[in-house]
Amino acid sequence: MKRKIYDDLIEWKNKNNFKPLILLGVRQCGKTYIVDEFCKNEFKNYKRINLFEDTRVVDLYKSNKTSDEKYQDLKRTIDFDFDKEDSILFIDEIQESEELISELKYFNEKHSNVRIICAGSLLGVKLARLTKPFPVGKVERLYLYPMDFEEFLIANNQEMLVERIKKSFNNNQ
């Protein structure tokens, strides 16, 4: 299924500064789906973790370890070397760990070669209520909205209708 935000994800991938990306959007709008497709298609090495399912990561970031220790322990815990070239880590349901959200600053400052995308349900609400510091300026944010009419038509193999509607609109007909 084609979503317009895919082009924005490609643009993020091609930037020289590798800031972690947080994808925001309402529940059930396709955040996990589009990020999963993007990571599978655009990177050689890909790992997805879901913090609802893998509470070991949540516990790790609640610990009193240093950021460097947490970084190394994360790689061991999820059995994935996200430092490798052409690799990406997708952290789904990141709202389950305020500590990890705050730690995204560390990823940006100390490991700017690492590609990380985060998403979660009701993440916008969670970010507004954080008790830990949000990494302002150290992450990028994108918003995924529910499928629009054009995306709906494309998903239903009606690309010709999309072009006809655009042409009619442009010609004020």
Res. 21 pLDDT band, cuts 50 70 90: very high
Tokens at 49, concatenated: 């973790």
Indicate the pTM of the whole model: 0.87
Mean pLDDT, residues 136-145: 86
Task: Give start and end residues of each alpha helix (H) in the chain.
Answer: 5-13, 31-42, 55-62, 67-78, 98-110, 123-128, 149-155, 159-170
Mean pLDDT, residues 6-21: 91
